[in-house]
Amino acid sequence: MPEPVIASVGASSLGRTDLPGRDLFSVALAEAFDGLPDPAELVEAMYVGNQSESYEHQIMYGTLLAEWAGLRHVPAERVEGCAAAGALALRHAVKDVRNGEHEAVLACGVEKMTSAGTSGATDALSAAFDRALEQRSGITAPSQYALLAKRYLHETDATERDLAEIAVKNHANAARNPRAQFPKEIDVATVLESAPIAPPLKLYDCAPVGDGAAVVLVTTAELAADLDCPQVRIAGTGASANNIAVAERDMTDIAGARIAAETAYEEAGIDAAAVDIAEVHDAFTVCEALLAEAAGFAPAGTGYQSYQAPAERADGWTDVQLSPSGGLKARGHPIGATGLLQALEAYEQLTGGAGDRAVEGAETALLLNEGGVADAVTVGHVLTTAEAP
């Protein structure tokens, strides 16, 4: 069975831009194929993660971006799973290579969120909620996650200050990331004194709206070697869908994320303790705490300690470093591209391309990308430069 690897990555700038989605993709593609043969000479299939057609009134993103990449008559599909769309695109590419169907597949993600304004983005994101039970009540993404945050603060020793510290940590990481939408440090007071959005969540507890695109080239190990590319093994992948409505789920036990992570670990032949870095779906600060527990890094009720140095955390924590890119919170969250931006960060960390933000000695990464609220759908990937067990 062929072993899928990441051979190259690329991304556009993140944030507000005048570029349409297809041009954001072109920027990301140009970076990924710098020094490589033309995409038309390599790529045999393409998957595009895209959350909503409402931002640019555009469907058929698979066909559109294949055309923009100079590809003709290859399979090209749009993949949708709200904010998990990018990771789903990567998962499809991995399966194609692993099954021997293709030798080189592009996993892409793009979103042009700012074109719709705040109200348009709010409406597009709310389409991920149950229409009958949630959308008609007027509930929004921040208010949904505020329910999770209030419950988490009630059930654990975590405080609003702890959530603020997670934001501070991720902004500090983003300050060392030239790709970040908000490459600046902040302090706890800035978070705690920021405008309330949906209590207990404040402005600086929330990931921003933004535009962006990312590209990941998935190939066989042999082809990556022929191209003389640094390669990272995609050793495991997992996915899980939970109920769509929050009211039907345990708000502090993110079971779908746990299953996605455990499935990826099992495929990779590792456990949580082997993971050096993790890019998790911190759309809101409480998400990092919840996902640290779901991924097996932290005992129940202690995930909020993710901002602390490993030696300061509670017994039972692993030494993992979370969100070295700055996470969705500060690196940015252009919905369809987010899961692939996680893969890009892991690739750079594991191949010596992370610069000042590099986590020393990192060999293995976990990616957790969610769609809908919490674990409505979760996709996990284990990336590693370590030899197969």
**For residue 283, what is the DSSP state?**
S
Contacts of residue 277, Cβ cutoff 8 Å, sequence gap at least 6: 320, 321, 322, 324, 346, 349, 359, 362, 364, 365, 366
| Residue-wise pLDDT tens digits, 307-355 | 999 999 999 999 999 999 999 999 999 999 999 999 999 999 999 999 9
Cα angle 304, 309, 311 (rounded to 5 degrees) comes to 105
- In this prediction, residue 247 carries a pLDDT of 79
- Locate 160 and state its tokens: 């609003």
Question: Percentage of residues in the chain with pLDDT exceeding 70?
Answer: 100
- Kindly report the length of the chain: 389
Three-class DSSP category at 242: coil
- In this prediction, residue 118 carries a pLDDT of 85
| Residue-wise pLDDT tens digits, 102-134 | 999 999 999 999 998 888 888 898 888 888 888
- In this prediction, residue 131 carries a pLDDT of 87
**For residue 251, what is the DSSP state?**
S
Distance CA 106, CA 217 (A): 5
Reported as a pLDDT band with limits 50, 70 and 90, residue 299 is very high
- In this prediction, residue 126 carries a pLDDT of 87
Question: Percentage of residues in the chain with pLDDT exceeding 90?
Answer: 89
Is the model more confident about 8 or about 2?
A: 8
Q: What is the rounded average pLDDT for all residues in the chain?
A: 96
| Residue-wise pLDDT tens digits, 142-173 | 999 999 999 999 999 999 999 999 999 999 99
Distance CA 83, CA 212 (A): 13
Q: Helix H segments across 204-355?
A: 221-226, 255-268, 285-294, 327-330, 338-350
All structural domains of the chain: 4-116+209-226 (3.40.47.10)
Reported as a pLDDT band with limits 50, 70 and 90, residue 389 is confident
Distance CA 52, CA 82 (A): 8
- In this prediction, residue 176 carries a pLDDT of 97
29-38, 121-130, 180-189, 359-368, range with the lowest pLDDT: 121-130
| Residue-wise pLDDT tens digits, 243-269 | 888 877 888 999 999 999 999 999 999
Reported as a pLDDT band with limits 50, 70 and 90, residue 304 is very high
Which of 378, 380, 372, 376 minimizes the C-alpha distance to 343? 380
Cβ(50)–Cβ(344) below 8 Å = no
- In this prediction, residue 228 carries a pLDDT of 97
26-35, 67-76, 247-256, 328-337, range with the lowest pLDDT: 247-256
Distance CA 51, CA 41 (A): 29
Which of 207, 309, 295 minimizes the C-alpha distance to 259? 295
Strands (E), 207-251: 211-220, 232-241
| Terminal Cα distance for the chain, rounded | 15
- In this prediction, residue 117 carries a pLDDT of 86
Distance CA 143, CA 134 (A): 11
Angle between helices 285-294 and 141-155 (to 10 degrees): 60
- In this prediction, residue 284 carries a pLDDT of 97
- In this prediction, residue 309 carries a pLDDT of 95
